[in-house]
Amino acid sequence: MKKQVNVGVVGCGYWGPNLARNLRQIPECNLRYVCDTNPERLLHMRRLYPEVEGTQNFDTLLNGALDAIVIATPVRFHYPMAKSALLAGKHTFIEKPMACSVAECEELIELAHKQGLVLMVGHTFLYSPAVLKIKEIIEWGDIGELRYISARRLNLGLFQKDINVTWDLATHDISIVLYIMDEMPVSVSCRGDAHVTPGVEDVSTLYLSFRKNKAATVHSSWLDPKKVREMTFVGSRRMIVYDDVSLHEKIKIYDARVEVPPHYDTFAEFQYSYHYGDVYIPYIKQDEPLKLECQHFIDCIREGKTPRTSGENGLQVVQILELATQSLKHNGVSVPVPERRQWAGLHSPLLSTEVSEPTRVAA
């Protein structure tokens, strides 16, 4: 029987405690350390988990008898901490976004490869049963040809100081869009405004243009009174609405479409046909995505597998964020996405992932 994976978590502010909670519940994982510079946060974590050691010194994790380090600190610390962890021979999990630049991501990927270590990025929604179900439905062709994706991620706060709302909130939707499209966009444009903190956009709209006339829009805001987590996937035959805030009906499939008449002799004869059918709500097993993500990280370490959200996936998201920043600085100009290497598919590890029979809807 394989031994437990000894893990340390650095960063006990907003998201780190959630990672610690899930890692601690995994039988194959031994959460040994939590690390934070704030002694009050450490005391809080020690009260929750008295068997876990607390430290304010990151070097304690680097030099300790750990197999892996989970990094849940502000984005500016992701690269230096991940580099130190990899150099220390630790498998490394980095919360999203992976780093502050493509160059930093590339260096971490190369280092993990040389060290023979697992490098994984916390794109949690790619472990969501709802997102996986959407992927299945689209791949089976039940909504016809996918035309565009529209995403809205809105709430009041949490305001960040070192990254804007695109880097904070849109990261989730970008990862989902790339996962569903299974390709990089050909161009990126982004517009936004800073209403509260000068120089830090708190509202933004991102536009991703793909091949074959496909597109995705992502609207992000820290200035909305109501929490919204919604994505719409528009196909040529049907449409899917994904509402992550909904407790039980996260996915609804609308049998709705617009049809163009195949033949007409005059413009007067030309009329669009609007089809309105039933709404289908597929069953989705309710599993916490973060729990599945943490389990996947431990499994990849124990079995030597490539993570679904590997360093390469994290890099692709950061590349789009970099281009979005360029566009923001130039009033939303469209910025082409350069080809980094021959395309081989974003999520090849999923090909070996066991999935349930997808929901079929009547023609």
Residue 110 CB coordination number (10 Å): 12
The three-state secondary structure class of 224 is: strand
pLDDT level of residue 349 (50, 70, 90 thresholds): very low
Same domain, 90 and 156: no
Q: Which residues contact 110 (CB under 8 A, 6 or more apart)?
A: none
Q: What are phi and psi of 126, to 5 degrees?
A: -80, 0
- Residues 19-39 pLDDT 10s: 999 999 999 999 999 999 999
Q: Are residues 183 and 105 in the same domain?
A: no
Query: What pLDDT does 157 receive?
Result: 84
Whether 151 contacts 219, CB under 8 Å: yes
Do 111 and 152 reside in the same domain of the chain?
no
Residue where a domain stops, chosen among 117, 149, 181:
117
Nearest 5°: the CA angle 99, 210, 212 is 160
Last residue of a domain, one of 78, 94, 117: 117
Same domain, 79 and 135: no
Whether residue 142 sits in one domain with residue 92:
no
Q: What confidence score (pLDDT) does residue 248 get?
A: 86
Burial 324-357 (b: 16+ CB within 10 A, else e): bbebbeeebeebebeeeeeeeebbebeeeeeeee
Q: Is residue 24 part of a domain?
A: yes
Share in percent of the chain as helix, strand, coil (round to 5): 35, 25, 40
Digit-coded pLDDT (tens) for 150-200:
999 999 988 888 899 999 999 999 999 999 999 999 999 999 999 999 999
Residue 309 counted as domain residue: no
Domain that holds residue 112: 5-117
Do 58 and 206 lie in one domain? The reply is no
Helical segments of 7-148, H only: 16-24, 39-48, 58-63, 78-87, 102-115, 129-139
Residue 79: closest CA among 269, 309, 334, 311 = 311
In the predicted model, what is the mean pLDDT of residues 52-81?
Answer: 97
Please indicate, yes or no, if residue 311 is contained in any of the structural domains.
no
Residues 161 and 266 in one domain: yes
Categorise residue 345: left if φ over 0, alpha if ψ from -120 to 50, beta otherwise.
left
**How is residue 349 annotated by DSSP?**
G
Number of domains in the chain: 2
Whole-prediction pTM value? Answer: 0.89
Q: Tell me the CATH number at 110.
A: 3.40.50.720
Of 206-210, 234-238, 282-286, the poorest mean pLDDT is in 282-286
Task: Read off the tokens for 59.
Answer: 């070097």
Residue recorded with tokens 């006339």: 213
Q: Which of 67, 100, 117 is the last residue of a domain?
A: 117
Q: What is the DSSP letter of 308?
A: T
The gap from C-alpha 274 to its chain's centroid, in whole angstroms, comes to: 34
Taking the C-alpha atoms of residue 30 and residue 67, their distance in angstroms, rounded to an integer, is 10
| Structure confidence at residue 263 as a pLDDT band (50, 70, 90) | low
Instruction: Copy the structure tokens of residue 45.
Output: 């974590």
- Three-class SS state of 84: helix
CA distance 312 to 308: 10
Domain identity same for 133 and 281? yes
156 and 99 belong to one structural domain: no
Q: Are 216 and 149 in contact (CB under 8 A)?
A: yes
- CA 21, distance to chain mean position in Å, is 20
For residue 300, tell me if it sits in a domain: no
Q: Which two tokens stand for residue 147?
A: 């035309």
In a domain, 304, yes or no: no
223-237 tens-digit pLDDT: 999 999 999 999 999
Distance CA 357, CA 258 (A): 28
- Does residue 264 surpass a pLDDT of 60? no
Q: Per-residue pLDDT averaged across 70-90, rounded?
A: 97
